Structure 1
Amino acid sequence: MNNKKQNYLGPLIIIGVLFFVFGFVTWVNGTLIAFFKKAFNLDNTSSLLVTFAFFISYTVMAIPSSEILKKIGFKKGMAVGLGVMAIGTLTFVPAAKMASYVLFLVGLFVIGIGLTLLQTASNPYVTILGDRESAAQRISIMGIANKIAGILSQKLLGGLLLASSTVSVAVSSETELDKVTVPYLILTGVLIVLAILIMLSKGLPEVSEEQEGDASEKSEKTSIWAFPNLVLGLVTLFCYVGLEVISGDTIISYGISLGFPESEAKDFGQFTLWSMLVGYVLGIVLIPKYVSQQTWLKLSSLLGVVITLVALFTTGYTSVLSIALLGLSNAIMWPAIWPLAINGLGKYTKLGSALLVMMIAGGAILPLVYGKLADTIGAQSAYGLLIPLYLYIAYYATWGHKKANW
């Protein structure tokens, strides 16, 4: 067993580096939202097109990614994903020179396409590189790598893009946008180097059909839509991703709307990620020894309702820190929802997994709903949107996932 674990160490480190990359490029969106809002003088809805462009790519590419990986394999798929991401980050350079918000959004969409392919290829390794019984623990460890990268990305790029405490409206957008050129050129170079290293690596095994999931299990049902736990789980994952993106990516702009200077508000997104890190550590320690994943999911969603109410009815730091604490509620939702949704799918497991990936569209659509509400009734009141989303997740954790037939 020890030898087996030792053999898995190298590949797991590689996958951990990739999850670090996921976190770095994903969690910087909160900084970009505030930065573009200032540089292009956008309203909340328009600035949140950043999350729409980035996350809608998952819906577009989820099933095509599966087909691509069947043809070129998982290892090459990861390298190609990194290469596509590099094209997207490189697009930021001409976008800055042209002062084109649309071109920035195109770059974010391309990054999302590459990330979809990369995640579709790398996620199965977290399960197969070790005992399946300890997969949830490995997922949590990868989540920690993801969130640490997010903290670093917000610290580095937030410090660069949102460093000034007062910004004159007379500053040209071209001058502001030049700030992204060097960091995104560096990020492009890092992605290209990683792609080359993945191709040259001999430590990553190819993933077989049998290893990907429990597709060999038998099921008497003739349609994937005959599984209530999956269908209700799709809605649950849609809600969860929307919640996570809203709480993580709007907090900087929310802080600025409350009157905090940019030099201070730029760090608020890191608070959300720190609270998520605490949640992951608690998950590693407590699940499943002391509490089941579905019980944790129920308690987390109810905690989210309570924290949201505090954010709605308080002001200043208390309200901002409440939004950050939502990271604690959101931390273990993904690994808790996923197994409940695909349980018992049998031969439909792969299709079910692809549909679940498509539900990352919640991170594209629900932030726009929040943005529209923020422009209409105010940024703070708009967080009321989170309450029915958390309540639905609580329903799924308590009763929905148990439903075997319609």
Structure 2
Amino acid sequence: MSMDNVQSRQPSNLIPMIMLGMLFFIFGLVSWVNSILIPYFKVSCELTHTQSYLVALAFYIAYLVMSIPAARLIGRVGSRRGIMIGLWLMSAGTLMFVPAAYTRAYSIFLTGLFTIGTGLSILQTVANPYVTILGPIESAARRISIMGLCNKIAGILAPLLFAAVILKSTDNELFEVLKNNSVTGVEKDILLDGLIRRVIVPYSVLSLFLFLFGCAIYFIRLPELGNNQQEDITHASKDRQSIGSYPYLIMGVFAIFFHVAAQVISIDTIISYAESMGFNLQEAKIFPSITLSCALVGYFLGILLIPRFASQQLMLRISTVGGLILSVCVLFIPGTIQMSGHTTSLSIWCLSLMGVCNALIYAGIWPLAIHDLGRWTNLGSSFMVMALCGNAFMPVIYGLIADHHGLRSGYIVLIPCFLYLIFYAFYGYKINHWSELWKLKKDK
């Protein structure tokens, strides 16, 4: 079956695309709420910056550990059952927040986050290849941009909804009392217990929703995009002995690693950075949503421009260079601006604007990295999902630098991320054989 035939089946692709949009909305809902969970846990569980960023580590390390088992599971049970299992695992993970809150045990929270990440790794292993294959490869970035809109709209809502449900108007005084150690002993424990137990109701409701949505998937007809179909799409894999024979894929895996690392740092750290400028948590909660709103602008640009006015390769190049420029500005740009009675550094606005660039980087890398893999498509997609563990490691590295040298200095980790992404956008994706890379090094 040719790619043209896949593209021509528009009616059969509509339901999968709607379902994928809902899945990407869920991805955003449970992922980007971490931006406010991190400072919330920092106060309620009495953590350092480094310890608080273990939220991201526990959540995203599951992608590294579980993506290959997820691919094997999907190969055995199929896409639909894989989606059901992923949603039910996420339901179990969110339910773990109940005993974690009652005991104020950070380790149980981290276990729940790892379980949620495991479910997400299964869903991502299904969803990203689906989006790429449901249509021509030249417009894959456009379809991914549509999914990105669903993801980032949920991301904009997640911290605001969490704050609306969890935080109270009187919390500013409470946070100051706790941060200044104005109370101790039993009185302090009572305050901290009351604060952390506010997560019980919203996460119980979320757990029920994920479980019921998993049950609903059973009644939805979904086409199975298995290895046989992928082999029909391309026969280019016949001369390759292993998945390691695709340098553009392997380098694309590292590109995803550095991209998601830069993205999560710009979103999950921005509340703490705003707090360092005098904002309280109630006021700072808006900054992740501002950053994700900038990402929406990027996705709209992708939908409008790709592939009619600009290729996905060109947009990827523009976005990576723009990301590097903004990273340098975050570190060094002078000047301030007034907002809500606070003097804010222009650097925090450069950090927010990074959302525009990050939106099109992810959409650009995926189709360039998994094209023409043939029978290796499922495994290659699993490797790409594994690379999402960049979200796990880089925030902890940022936290270590921030604890010792200041929050703004921690953003130096963005520079190597964007330097590698520029290499991939201009050269890496074109390398079909490793000998071409060695020749490139020799020429230099």
2:226 to 208, 211, 222: 208
Q: Work out whether residues 76 and 199 of structure 1, in 8 Å CA contact, stay in contact via their aligned partners in 2.
A: yes
List per-residue Cα deviations over 1:168-219 (Å, max 9, x = no partner).
2145221110110010011011101101111122x32223323346564234
Distance 1:50 1:141 in 2: 28
Distance 1:129 1:218 in 2: 20
- 1:108 shift after superposition: 0.2
> Where does residue 299 of structure 1 map in the other structure?
318
> Where does residue 100 of structure 2 map in the other structure?
95
Distance 1:18 1:375 in 2: 36
List per-residue Cα deviations over 1:280-331 (Å, max 9, x = no partner).
0001111222222222222111111221222223452522221111111100
Q: Work out whether residues 159 and 266 of structure 1, in 8 Å CA contact, stay in contact via their aligned partners in 2.
A: no
Distance 2:211 2:242 in 1: 41
Q: Work out whether residues 66 and 121 of structure 2, in 8 Å CA contact, stay in contact via their aligned partners in 1.
A: yes
Counterpart check, 1:239 vs 2:258:
yes
> Where does residue 399 of structure 2 map in the other structure?
371
Counterpart check, 1:269 vs 2:288:
yes
In structure 2, relative to structure 1, the CA distance for the partners of 1:161 and 1:59 (3 Å cut) is: same
> Where does residue 311 of structure 1 map in the other structure?
330
Q: Which amino acid aligns with 2:382?
A: A
Distance 2:431 2:14 in 1: 39
1:361 to 368, 386, 389: 389
Give the TM-score normalised by structure 2.
Answer: 0.86
> Where does residue 17 of structure 2 map in the other structure?
12
Matches within 5 A, 1:269-288: 269-288=288-307
In structure 2, relative to structure 1, the CA distance for the partners of 1:351 and 1:11 (3 Å cut) is: closer
Moved more, 188-197 or 153-162: 153-162
List per-residue Cα deviations over 1:343-366 (Å, max 9, x = no partner).
444443332222221111111111
Q: Work out whether residues 271 and 321 of structure 1, in 8 Å CA contact, stay in contact via their aligned partners in 2.
A: no
Matches within 5 A, 1:36-51: 36-51=41-56
Distance 1:8 1:376 in 2: 51
1:193 to 207, 212, 217: 212
1:260 aligned counterpart, secondary structure: coil
1:75 to 67, 74, 80: 80
In structure 2, relative to structure 1, the CA distance for the partners of 1:347 and 1:211 (3 Å cut) is: closer
> Where does residue 195 of structure 2 map in the other structure?
176
1:224 to 207, 225, 243: 243
Q: Work out whether residues 256 and 265 of structure 1, in 8 Å CA contact, stay in contact via their aligned partners in 2.
A: yes
The number of equivalent residue pairs is 405
Q: Work out whether residues 147 and 276 of structure 1, in 8 Å CA contact, stay in contact via their aligned partners in 2.
A: yes
- 1:373 shift after superposition: 0.7
Counterpart check, 1:257 vs 2:276:
yes
Q: Which amino acid aligns with 1:309?
A: V
Moved more, 156-165 or 145-154: 156-165
1:200 aligned counterpart, secondary structure: coil
Moved more, 215-224 or 371-380: 215-224
1:109 to 114, 120, 143: 114
2:428 to 395, 400, 404: 400
Distance 1:3 1:297 in 2: 27
1:289 aligned counterpart, secondary structure: coil
Structure 1 vs Structure 2 CA RMSD: 2.1
Distance 1:3 1:207 in 2: 16
Moved more, 231-240 or 213-222: 213-222
In structure 2, relative to structure 1, the CA distance for the partners of 1:341 and 1:7 (3 Å cut) is: closer
List per-residue Cα deviations over 1:208-248 (Å, max 9, x = no partner).
32334656423434343333222222221111111111111
User: Where does the alignment leave 5 or more consecutive residues of structure 1 unmatched?
Assistant: none
Q: Work out whether residues 84 and 110 of structure 1, in 8 Å CA contact, stay in contact via their aligned partners in 2.
A: yes
2:172 to 165, 174, 184: 165
Q: Work out whether residues 87 and 214 of structure 2, in 8 Å CA contact, stay in contact via their aligned partners in 1.
A: yes
User: Where does the alignment leave 5 or more consecutive residues of structure 2 unmatched?
Assistant: 337-343, 436-444
Q: Work out whether residues 138 and 307 of structure 2, in 8 Å CA contact, stay in contact via their aligned partners in 1.
A: no
Distance 1:6 1:215 in 2: 23
Q: Which amino acid aligns with 2:350?
A: S
Give the TM-score normalised by structure 1.
Answer: 0.94
Distance 2:325 2:122 in 1: 36
> Where does residue 352 of structure 1 map in the other structure?
380
1:393 aligned counterpart, secondary structure: helix
Distance 1:358 1:7 in 2: 29
- 1:7 shift after superposition: 4.0
Moved more, 33-42 or 219-228: 219-228
In structure 2, relative to structure 1, the CA distance for the partners of 1:379 and 1:123 (3 Å cut) is: same
> Where does residue 153 of structure 2 map in the other structure?
148
Q: Work out whether residues 132 and 367 of structure 2, in 8 Å CA contact, stay in contact via their aligned partners in 1.
A: no
Moved more, 60-69 or 316-325: 316-325
Distance 1:397 1:4 in 2: 32
Distance 2:117 2:108 in 1: 14
Moved more, 263-272 or 2-11: 2-11
Q: Work out whether residues 35 and 161 of structure 1, in 8 Å CA contact, stay in contact via their aligned partners in 2.
A: no
Distance 1:335 1:308 in 2: 20
Distance 2:96 2:387 in 1: 26
